[in-house]
Chain A
Amino acid sequence: MAFYEQHIHPKPTTFISKYIFSFDHKVIGKQFLWYGILGLGLGGIMALMIRWALAFPGEAFPLIGQFMFPETGGVIPPDTYAMLFTMHGTIMIFYAITPILIGAFGNFCIPLMIGARDMAFPLMNMLSFHLAVLSAALLVISLFVPLGAAASGWTAYPTLSTLIGSPGTGQTFWAVAIFVLGISSTMGAINYITTVITLRAPGMGYFDMPLTVWGLWLTAILNAIFLPVLGAGGLLLVFDRVFGTQFFLAGAAATSGTGDPVLFQHVFWIFGHPEVYILILPAWGMVSDILSFFSRKPAFGAKATALSMTSITILSTLVYGHHMYTTQLSPLLTQTFMTLTMTISIPSAIFFANWLGTLWKGSIRFDTPMLFSLGVVFVFGLGGLTGLYLGTVTTDLYLHDTYFVVGHFHYTMAASVLFGSFAAIYFWMPKMFGKMLNETWGKIHFWLTMLGLNGVFFGMLFIGYAGMHRRLYDPFVYEFLQHLVPINTFITWSAILMGLTQIIFVVNFVHAVFWGKDETDPNPWKVGTLEWTIPSPAPNYNFDKIPVVKCGPHELGNPNLTTGRDFQYQTEELVEA
């Protein structure tokens, strides 16, 4: 194939060239990891504040409330509430999950797993991270401008997001920050796509790539195609706000000569629906691999899994209308979008069945990465099922804009992707940092998170089904929602549990990175993909000698193996089972 060998430059020596202006994909991956973990923390605190307001309306937020909202005596004010859910969504999606799964593990895993020394364009890779930092800076600034941060939801629908709905500069900063982040992610995507096509080690066909790489690669393709769409929407929004254009002002071209807010929804969701798959595809890929590694048997139907991920990628570009059933789309359109949405169930069912097939009769090892991967199977299953209710026009007319939607996308996106990220962190930790995370604490982390998380998100499905709308400051001013106070309180306590549990993870992680014992075994999980053939942490330029690939990534549990191992490395000649 198009393989070529990159030549080796000397190791950087100064602190700056090593950690700040590094071209090394592994270092850039770690930079993104820290960046994303910070984002998780910030977004998480915001989530707790939102939950506090919903469970204990009118009570002061504990500890920091008095300092943040002195004028209300610590109670979260309504406009701040709107900023909180906006920034929570924005930060979690664009500044936490995206950098961890795509930025950190995309960078770290792709070259290592395909046997390359680095990305195809290391300089562009570094710039991509620097732009991401710039974008985060813009977003943080937006928190402190007069009239406060953006408050129109992560979807930034006009007219909430036009000058009429948000007169402050916070919304403008938001749009510019997202635009810059879009450029950063597009640069990353260009790199990933090219790297996978041109730098696979000799002998590695597309179906010899680990499914992790498949997921990341498909994600990169979607990113390169659809981020510019969001970019266009964001630009027009900025024009409306700064230069007085009329794209999204209320009214319609026909009657008043002005624009139409609904156009933004089209543009947003043409990007937005692929975006949700952008986030989930890497997690799917990783989970597919990890399930096989820890069941000690080949991934069931790996080729079918890869192909169904590909068809989901393609289909995901055609279903965005299911977010807009209530915007007076013509019934012909809503029916079409509904049918297309349901079509996605077919490939989804295929790879979901493949996951179960992988587990079937495996000799499962319940290490922490496996626990989190099994967690993904469970929560994604639930999330996917709730999607069917929303994808059906008739039921969605009732469920739209309720907490049911919030529960749905937290199960599919927040829960699955979060668990996928944790699985990846626990799994690749030894290769990244040369240290293991503590297993016992890892398991405690998993179970408590699982408990809290389901309390939160299942509760959301309930209250949504009972009719509670999302984004309301105090839903209990409505009589018909007052009986939901107890369940909201339960959700909040679950959220507090889940939030506090993450402290365990952070302590475990920081402790391992800085003070942990070195892991001497280069292959602690006993798997055969290329990154485990080299020492831990992965050395400068990864592979001294570029490996030659002779078999697929999931050759485990073959009874005919004579090496004394139950798996084979991808560099070994395939032993027939």
Chain B
Amino acid sequence: MSRVATLDSAELEGRRLASSIAMTVVLVSFSMLFASLFLGYAYYRITSPVWPPMGMSKVDLYFPTLSTFAILLSSLSFVIFKTKYLGGGSAKKTLPWLGLTIFLGLGFMFTQFSLWADLSGKGFYASSGVFQSLVYAFTWIHAAHIVMAILALVWLVPTTLKNECTITEENKVNNIGKFWHFLGVIWLLMYFIIFVI
């Protein structure tokens, strides 16, 4: 591809800026989605004298903690991937780190499914009460985003193999990375707010 040749440097700079502005707006939008959910959580929590309400029990932290490790490590591995990729590393050097990120992402999904199976095994259903509803709705919505993000990570595999990093690829890697870290941060918030405290 001879993309680089046809772009002047102003357009390069412009597209980099446009891409990062757009991604910022995207993240603001997604933050508002999750912020609304947290608002709902706060609303129920504040209006209830005991939490969880009505003698419901808290969620066992085993699986949520595993999820936390998976997603934190995956973010770390993505950072390594990105540094190597943008530093001009060859596919041989970068692909394993991307692979590890995807693997850890899948691991996160695995722990989520285990969590859901574990919960319903204990008779903790979405319809049992508002606390259960919150736990499920948060994890479902977050997991749906994770699935999208994993697909986006997989989409990076051919990009990496192409062994050529123009502004298009650079923007792609940066943006998908931001989205992935964003989901990690949201998970951390969920972990502490919903499961721990």
Contacts and interface: CB of A to CB of B under 8 A. Distances in A.
Interface stretch (A258-266, A299-307, A385-393, A395-403): A258-266
Interface residues of A, number: 47
A259 B136 contact: no
B39 A198 contact: no
B2 interface: no
Interface in B102-147: 125-133, 136-137, 140-141
Nearest to A258: B130
A228 B137 contact: no
Nearest to A195: B18
A254 B49 contact: yes
Contact of B21 (A5, A194, A225): A194
A226 interface: yes
Given A190-B26, A254-B49, A257-B56, A4 B40 contact: no
A246 to B, nearest CB: 5
A574 interface: no
B43 A3 contact: no
Interface stretch (B27-35, B60-68, B69-77, B93-101): B27-35
Interface of A: 2-7, 120-121, 186, 189-191, 193-194, 197-199, 224-229, 231-233, 235-236, 239-240, 243-247, 252-254, 256-260, 263, 266-267, 270
A232 B22 contact: no
B17 A7 contact: no
A121 B168 CA distance: 13
Interface of B: 6-8, 10-11, 13-15, 17-18, 21-22, 25-26, 28-30, 32-37, 39-40, 43-45, 47-49, 53-54, 56, 125-133, 136-137, 140-141
B43 A266 contact: yes
A262 to B, nearest CB: 9
B48 A253 contact: yes
A2 B14 contact: yes
A188 to B, nearest CB: 11
Nearest to B11: A4
Contacts of B11: 4-7
A121 B10 CA distance: 17
26 contacts: A2-B14, A3-B10, A120-B18, A121-B18, A194-B18, A198-B14, A199-B18, A224-B29, A225-B32, A228-B29, A228-B30, A231-B33, A232-B33, A232-B34, A232-B36, A232-B37, A239-B126, A243-B136, A245-B127, A247-B137, A253-B47, A254-B49, A257-B56, A257-B131, A260-B44, A263-B40
Given A5-B10, A253-B48, A259 B33 contact: no
B76 to A, nearest CB: 28
Contacts of B6: 7
A374 to B, nearest CB: 35
Contacts of A190: 22, 25-26, 29
A263 B137 contact: no
B186 to A, nearest CB: 13
Contacts of B7: 7
A266 B43 CA distance: 10
A402 to B, nearest CB: 28
Nearest to B14: A4
A260 B22 CA distance: 36
Contact of B22 (A194, A231, A266): A194
A197 B129 contact: no
A180 to B, nearest CB: 14
Given A189-B29, A229-B32, A270-B36, 11 more contacts: A4-B13, A5-B8, A193-B21, A228-B36, A231-B33, A232-B32, A243-B127, A252-B48, A253-B53, A257-B128, A259-B44
A263 B6 CA distance: 54
A111 to B, nearest CB: 13
B18 A233 contact: no
Contact of A226 (B32, B43, B132): B32
B52 to A, nearest CB: 9
Contacts of B36: 228-229, 231-233, 267, 270
A476 B7 CA distance: 70
Nearest to B141: A235
Contacts of A224: 25, 28-29
A247 B129 CA distance: 8
A177 to B, nearest CB: 18
A4 B15 contact: yes
Contacts of B10: 3-5
A127 B140 CA distance: 25
A198 B18 contact: yes
B176 to A, nearest CB: 15
B162 to A, nearest CB: 20
Given A236-B137, A247-B137, A227 B127 contact: no
A121 B26 CA distance: 13
Contacts of B26: 190
A190 B27 CA distance: 10
